[in-house]
Amino acid sequence: MTTTLFSPLQAGDLHLHNRVAMAPLTRNRSPNAVPRDITATYYAQRASAGLLITEGTAIDPFAQGYADVPGLYGTEQLDGWKKVTDAVHARGGKIVTQLWHVGRISHVDLLPEGLPPVAPSAVQANTRTYVIDQATGKAGFVPVSAPRALQAKELPVIVHSFVQAARSAVETAGFDGVEIHAANGYLLDQFMKDGANQRTDDYGGSIENRARLLLEVTRAIADAIGAGKVGIRLSPVTPANDIVDSHPQPLFDYVARQLAPLGLAYIHVIEGATGGPREVEGRPFNYAQFKDSYRMAGGKGAWMVNNGYDADMAAHAVASGHADMVAFGKLYIANPDLVERLREKAPLNPWDQHTFYGGGEHGYTDYPKLA
């Protein structure tokens, strides 16, 4: 029998009803980093997905890079998430949270005591972040602040912070697992890629050194909560957040071989430019070779792909063995019942990009289901 998007899948410890995932999507609707009741409604509306992956969620106050994104470090935040996971589980869904440290993609106004963002090296990204002026309530994009380089002795604190958030997510907030955000030019991606990492210690220079923090974080989380509850998101060539690596293929083939023996639930790959073209000019990458590197080293996790997939591309990706699962982003914003619509080949609601970031129910919980 051919595999379809609607075939069940065992991904590590996660038993999934189908191979359609809701991609992590920043929505900036959690003032004080606390998910609201409408957040529970939003995720519960989408619970027929094989797997829901939450928006990036800050592991500690220094991991915050945008206004009104949720966290996993305070009691109120975890209580808010518990309402979300309860609502999703009541509808038979599975949900993991995305563990996020933004590194240099932040702004002094968003960080404790106005301290600078942290990064592998003191290299400012040419990009913007989203802030809300507390006086006027007006939201907008502003350039990120200049970061400071982390000292080597601070890195165990970062690892610990990821582990603490993973434990809280599973033990207190009721998540089925976690996804490590190692993509899109945030902290772990900054360490991996030589465009942002100019270190001369054990965490810079060679591929092995640049991948070290990512692998330390991943192994520590796997030890703490069980590898079968852990996924990881990677974006080999995305230019998002001004990130670049001079030789992504050997870097990511190495990362794939190192991740393989850990027994993770899934590997989540953004193909191309995040939310944009699937080919990035001047940045060729062989995704089949990347996956082979993982499988040939014994990796058994589900291979999840993302970026610009429509119904036909997704069906083909799963039927051909290119991937085990497909994650949908913008389509999931606009279609709470995306699984049913794909199954019935029903028309899809268009998304409204003006309501992606910030606001309330409009553009969040008011997209219609099929009649």
Number of residues this chain uses to bind ligand 8OZ (CB under 6 A)? 6
User: Cα–Cα distance between 361 and 37 in angstroms, integer?
Assistant: 10
Residue 66 or 81 with smaller CB distance to ligand 8OZ: 66
Residue 303 or 357 with smaller CB distance to ligand 8OZ: 357
| Cα dihedral sign, 118-122-123-126 | positive
**Hey, is 131 helix, strand or coil?**
strand
- Asked if 214 touches ligand 8OZ (CB under 6 A), the answer is no
Residue 156 or 276 with smaller CB distance to ligand 8OZ: 276
User: Cα–Cα distance between 185 and 235 in angstroms, integer?
Assistant: 9
User: Cα–Cα distance between 223 and 136 in angstroms, integer?
Assistant: 45
**CA-wise closest residue to 58 among 137, 172, 153, 158:** 158
Instruction: Kindly give, in sequence order, each residue whose CB lies less than 8 Å from that of residue 141, ignoring residues fewer than 6 positions away.
Output: 128, 129, 130, 131
Residue 26 C-beta: closest distance to ligand 8OZ, Å = 4
Indicate which single residue of 240, 256, 260, 311 sits in contact with ligand 8OZ (rule: CB under 6 A): 240
**What residues are annotated to the active site?**
186
Which positions from 66 to 85 touch ligand 8OZ by CB under 6 A, shown as an x/- string?
x-------------------
H/E stretch holding 16:
strand 14-16
Residue 65 C-beta: closest distance to ligand 8OZ, Å = 7
- Asked if 184 touches ligand 8OZ (CB under 6 A), the answer is yes
Residue 100 or 252 with smaller CB distance to ligand 8OZ: 100
- Asked if 56 touches ligand 8OZ (CB under 6 A), the answer is yes
- Asked if 26 touches ligand 8OZ (CB under 6 A), the answer is yes
User: Cα–Cα distance between 222 and 228 in angstroms, integer?
Assistant: 8
- Asked if 274 touches ligand 8OZ (CB under 6 A), the answer is yes
Residue 166 or 240 with smaller CB distance to ligand 8OZ: 240
Tokens linked to 348: 């899809």
- Cα–Cα distances in Å, from 349 out to 327, 330, 335, 342? 17, 10, 6, 12
- Asked if 106 touches ligand 8OZ (CB under 6 A), the answer is no
Residues of this chain that bind ligand 8OZ (CB under 6 A): 26, 56, 66, 184, 240, 274
